[in-house]
Amino acid sequence: MTADTIAARRARPLRRLPFGTRVLFTPVAIAVVLVALYAWVSTLELDSIEQRSLNRAVIVAKTIEHLEMTLAATALVVVIAIPLGVAASRATNRLIAPVILTVGNLGQAVPCIGLLVLCTFLMGVGFQTALVGLVAYAVLPVLRNTMVGVQQVDPALIEAARGMGMTRGQILRRVELKLAVPAILAGLRTALVLTVGVATLGAFVAAGGFGELIINGLKLNRMPVTIVGGVLTACIAFFIDWLGGLAEDLLKPRGM
């Protein structure tokens, strides 16, 4: 999956179902799939190789690794991309914005697996390498959404704020950033889901995660292991997207 999915997922024009139904649909569906997966695996007679992968300790460990990678990368992206996005949106930096957009569009064409492997040549394999790759990949959507979100604030509001005697800092903090929150959150949600996906590739550079199950299953020709890894990855992606949607609804300033 590439960063292009930003554009794809951002303006998902889903009509909101009644709150309860909508909020519960995704977790219930995930639960059903997980139960079905468990039931299916229980019916299989696992050989020793499969047992080595498909046991509680390994699954828990892989879940933690996957989430660690995703959350650490997202936290770093927040710290890096939002301030940069705000800086890029300032009027004095007019020239920077198009440059960022162009580099951003070109950067999307770099395949994430290529980026990860290239990182290994610089830093060797491991968690940190995967983290660098993930951050490099997810920074752009958040940076771009922050920049665009701040720039899209209605100029009449800025003029009203200036006319009322707010200082530039106050306008940025109390008006521009607040109004950019929906766009920033949408970018973050996209980045999160993107990161969950790219984190599966972390297994290629020995950073663990669900990708390891997928890869090992394929290498050792043990399809159940691959399927468990694939389904778990998909479930965690849907779950994170669902959490992101909830967070968007809760954190969005009221009145908007």
The answer to whether residue 120 forms part of the interface with other proteins (CB under 8 A) is yes
- Minimum Å gap between C-beta 239 and other proteins is 10
Rule CB under 8 A: is residue 231 a binding residue for other proteins? yes
Of the candidates 149, 142, 134, the one whose C-alpha atom is nearest the C-alpha of residue 6 is 142
d(CA 130, CA 256): 37
**Nearest residue (CB) to other proteins, 127 versus 238:** 238
Q: Which is nearer to other proteins, 56 or 254 (CB)?
A: 254
One-letter amino acid for residue 69 of the chain: M
Q: Quick one: 79 or 125, whose CB is closer to other proteins?
A: 125
Please tell me the count of residues contacting other proteins according to CB under 8 A.
71
The structure tokens listed for 26 are 């995704």
The reply on whether position 238 binds other proteins by CB under 8 A is yes
CB of 188 to other proteins, least distance (A): 15
Of 167, 246, 249, 251, the residue at the interface with other proteins (CB under 8 A) is: 167
Site map for other proteins, 5-24, x if CB under 8 A?
A: x-xxx-xxxxx---------
Residue with tokens 């766009």: 183
Q: How far is CA 241 from the centre of its chain?
A: 8
Longest CA pairwise span in the chain (Å): 74
Q: Judged by CB under 8 A, does residue 136 bind other proteins?
A: no
CA distance 21 to 33: 18
Which of 80, 117, 243, 247 is the binder for other proteins (CB under 8 A)?
117
> H helices then E strands: how many in the chain?
12, 0
